[in-house]
Amino acid sequence: MSADPPDIYEVLARCTGFEWDTGNAPKVRARHKVGPGECEQAFFREPFVVGFDEKHSGAEQRWHALGQTLADRKLYLVFTVRGTLIRVIAARDMNRKERSAYEQAQAVVEENPRL
**Residue 1 in domain:** no
For residue 24, tell me if it sits in a domain: yes
pLDDT at 56: 83
Percent of the chain with pLDDT over 70: 95
Q: What is the pLDDT of residue 115?
A: 55
Specify if 34 maps to a domain.
Answer: yes
Please list the rounded mean pLDDT of every run of 10 residues in the chain (115 residues).
77 95 86 95 95 88 96 97 95 97 91 70
Residue 75: per-residue pLDDT: 98
Q: Provide the domain count of the chain.
A: 1
Is 24 within 8 Å of 88 (Cβ atoms)? yes
What is the extent of the structural domain holding 36? Answer: 8-111
Give me the pLDDT at residue 27, please. 87
Query: What's the CA gap between 88 and 66, in Å, rounded?
Result: 13
The verdict on residue 67 lying in a domain is: yes
Judge whether 67 and 86 are in contact, CB under 8 Å: no
What pLDDT, on the 0 to 100 scale, is given for residue 1? 45
